[in-house]
Amino acid sequence: MGTTRRQPRKWLVWEIVTTLFVVTVVAGVLVAVERNGDSGNPGAPPAPPATSRDRAPASTEPAPFTAPALVVKIDNVPAARPATGLGAADVVYVEPVEAGLTRLVAVYTGTPPAVVGPVRSARLTDVELLAQYGRPALAYSGAAPELLPALHAADVVDASPARAASAFYRDRGRRAPHNLYVRPARLPGGARGPAVSPLLFGPAPDTGTPTATYRVGYPAATFAFTWSAAVGLWSVSLNGTPLCSTDTGRVGAATVVWQRVQVTSDRSPVAHTVGAGDAVVLRDGRQFTGTWSRPTPRSPTTFRLADRLELPLAPGQTWVLLTA
């Protein structure tokens, strides 16, 4: 009453279609299982980890390394330490500046901390260095007048106080100019990630020299990295003092890269990160000697061993020190 019945032929066709669908799904699952290296044998070895340019190692939330990046210029002279937000950076570049000192370039590709600083001025080094990150947001506090045309022409989101005043504040407990901080959540949008991750992460080669401590010197600053097997990180020191961040404590790096670059002087030192040169990579308590290359500003930076095999970095915070 009021119901309808399928015609026998249609019902037969429906059964055949359903059966084929189930068979297809089961076959797909079996193929997927086989491709994943799981044959059902508990003793089967897992598939080896693959290297990846698709993820960031240290951000507060997992994010692709091709995600839009926030870059903050952080002051690191004695009056500016300890910094805030430094321990949460995915990558920290150390670049040479005037008087033999250094400045930090902190890159965040996941959710950044609530506050980062002290924020200081940009340099010409930043323009070429950051091109490999797509169109990042650059938080900085001014620049020399002769550098402003290059900064304004760079493919970055200007996240300076001149464009986003409400995102910045001064800590009255510190003396200017070492007291300017940024709240990343208040910065303008518009950043765009790169097509390819600027750095490669993956398992370590079987080579390398066990290393306890490694130092990289600038004319007026010396960084030391001491391996701690207990935490699996290189503890960072500056001029003999542990480097700390107010939010995370002692700063530790999973990977340290000493990248030898050409440094020219245009009133301020300029580190050129497009080209090729020698490099030393520290990871997993070992030291690897090799080379770096980056043919164009948009290209990723590639590190290789002496045998030309690519040398991946360890997941975790990465420090890259740029020196001549």
Q: Which two tokens stand for residue 224?
A: 């030391």
CA dist 319 and 324 (Å) reads: 16
Nearest to 135 by CA among 181, 177, 91, 191: 191
CA dist 79 and 111 (Å) reads: 28
Whichever domain contains 114, its CATH number is 3.50.90.10
Is residue 62 in a domain? no
Is residue 158 in a domain? yes
Query: Are 293 and 259 in a shared domain?
Result: yes
What's the pLDDT tens digit per position in 97-127? 999 999 999 999 999 999 999 999 999 999 9
Could you tell me the pLDDT band of residue 267, with boundaries at 50, 70 and 90?
confident
Could you tell me the pLDDT band of residue 244, with boundaries at 50, 70 and 90?
very high
CA dist 249 and 240 (Å) reads: 16
Residue 34 confidence (pLDDT) above 60 = no
Is residue 64 in a domain? no
Q: Which two tokens stand for residue 195?
A: 């097509």
Q: Which residues contact 281 (CB under 8 A, 6 or more apart)?
A: 255, 256, 257, 258, 287, 288, 290, 303, 311, 313
Is residue 225 in a domain? yes
Residue 64 confidence (pLDDT) above 90 = no
Query: Are 231 and 283 in a shared domain?
Result: yes
Query: Are 168 and 93 in a shared domain?
Result: yes
Is residue 191 in a domain? no
Query: Are 214 and 291 in a shared domain?
Result: yes
Q: What are phi and psi of 61, to 5 degrees?
A: -130, 140
Which range of residues forms the domain containing residue 23?
Answer: 9-38
Nearest to 304 by CA among 284, 276, 272, 324: 276
Residue 44 confidence (pLDDT) above 60 = no
pTM listed for this prediction: 0.82
pLDDT for 139 equals: 98
CA distances from 156 to 71, 89, 135, 272, 287 (A): 10, 18, 5, 18, 34
Query: Are 97 and 25 in a shared domain?
Result: no
Q: Are 119 and 168 in contact (CB under 8 A)?
A: yes
Query: Are 235 and 311 in a shared domain?
Result: yes
Residue 69 confidence (pLDDT) above 70 = yes
What's the pLDDT tens digit per position in 270-280? 999 999 999 99
Query: Are 174 and 218 in a shared domain?
Result: no
Average pLDDT over residues 229-233: 97
Query: Are 77 and 175 in a shared domain?
Result: yes
Is residue 20 in a domain? yes
Is residue 201 in a domain? no
First to last CA, the chain: 90
Question: For residue 244, what is the enclosing H or E element?
Answer: strand 244-245
Query: Are 294 and 223 in a shared domain?
Result: yes
Residue 47 confidence (pLDDT) above 80 = no
Average pLDDT, the chain: 84
- Domains in the chain, number: 3
Residue 212 confidence (pLDDT) above 80 = yes
